[in-house]
Amino acid sequence: MIKIRREKIIEIVWLIVVVALFVISIKMVKSGELEIYVASFGIWAPLIIFFLKASTLIIAPLGGTPLYVLSGTLFGGAKGFLICFLGDIFGSSVCFFLSRKYGQKVLGFFAGSQNVARVLSTVNIISSTKSFIKARLGFISMPELLSYAAGLSKINFWTFSVINALFYIPIDLMLVFLGSKLAMLSGKYLLIYPLILFLIAFVGFLSLYKDYEKADSF
């Protein structure tokens, strides 16, 4: 209980920090100071976002969604997308290899103790390419948990990587583009992304339902 509470506190603090950075960056966009400020950091600015994005997958309690928007605000659509996409690929690969090498014992620390049961229940239903694609739909908003589950399964790393990357592309593009245009967008458009994400996840979980039932019957 104490561990779960600590994870929640870390997650909330992380969210506050990222949102605060985002609000500051929006104000700097409007004042015209942001581009000069980011340029003053040189190569460190994109590297920091890259590693932060990867860390939000490796350490599952940390939410990574605000970083897509922040990256779009800081670097624009194309560059912001590339930074986040590479961070996602790197972070997911680390998740995969951590669980494949060290097994279940790393899940509590990296995936979060509240997510261990969900990860383990998913392992038996992602033994094929088709089942992994369905799982990726269902876990569209939780790719880190599926990455840990994939590492514990028999799925090939390259199959995992290619499918994972293909799913990251549209999601990353939408969120980074949202960040790059947020200072000019009307508030009503902010609901579009969560709605799309919910619909994709709903379809994915429906397609996974029978797979979970089959796994439970063994």
In this prediction, residue 30 carries a pLDDT of 58
Q: 114 CB contacts (<8 Å, ≥6 apart)? A: 4, 7
Q: How far is CA 164 from the centre of its chain?
A: 11
In this prediction, residue 22 carries a pLDDT of 62
Tens digits of pLDDT across the chain (218 residues) = 445 555 566 666 666 766 666 666 666 655 666 667 777 778 888 998 899 899 889 987 667 777 887 888 788 889 999 999 999 999 999 999 999 999 888 888 888 777 888 888 888 888 788 889 988 888 887 889 999 999 999 999 999 999 999 999 998 998 888 777 765 554 445 445 555 555 555 555 555 555 545 544 43
In this prediction, residue 139 carries a pLDDT of 84
Burial 59-83 (b: 16+ CB within 10 A, else e): bbbbebbbbbbbbbbbbbbeebbbb
In this prediction, residue 97 carries a pLDDT of 96
Q: 155 CB contacts (<8 Å, ≥6 apart)? A: 126, 127, 128, 129, 132
